Amino acid sequence: MKKCDYCGTEISYHDIYCGEECQDKAAKFYNLRDEYEKLFTFLDAVFVFMIPIGLFIGMFAGNLGDILIVSGLIGLGIMLLILPFPTESMIKKYKIKKAKKLCRYFALILIAVGIIGAVIFSFAT
């Protein structure tokens, strides 16, 4: 059977969504993603590149590198928590609702790793 593109429940082969509610939520998700796509891409690039830059700078100035790494992890996690935009392959595999939930779980893991890293770095100095 075919599944609803938003929630993943089984539907007939002629439908895309299981109801008006799922269709409205999917439209809202795609509109929000289109509206914030440039901001998401910019912030994603900034936070992701902060991590290897922090690793490089950490070889020369330890504390500054640690701050960049932790800031990159926590910033990326907060961004994904606020703007949970999964990839198209995740949406195709898990459908929108579950893909957004997995993206938020990943965001919480990133934030937790960043906080644990901040605690470890603060004790190391």
- pTM to 2 decimals? 0.88
HEC assignment per residue over the chain: CEECCCCCCEECCCCCCCCHHHHHHHHHHHHHHHHCHHHHHHHHHHHHHHHHHHHHHHCCCHHHHHHHHHHHHHHHHHHHHHCCCCCHHHHHHHHHHHHHHHHHHHHHHHHHHHHHHHHHHHHHC
Q: What pLDDT was estimated at residue 125?
A: 65
pLDDT by 10s per residue, the chain, length 125: 789 999 999 998 888 999 999 999 999 999 999 999 999 999 999 999 999 999 999 888 878 889 999 999 999 999 999 999 999 999 999 999 999 999 999 999 999 999 999 999 888 76
Instruction: Write down the domain spans for the chain.
Output: 1-35, 38-124
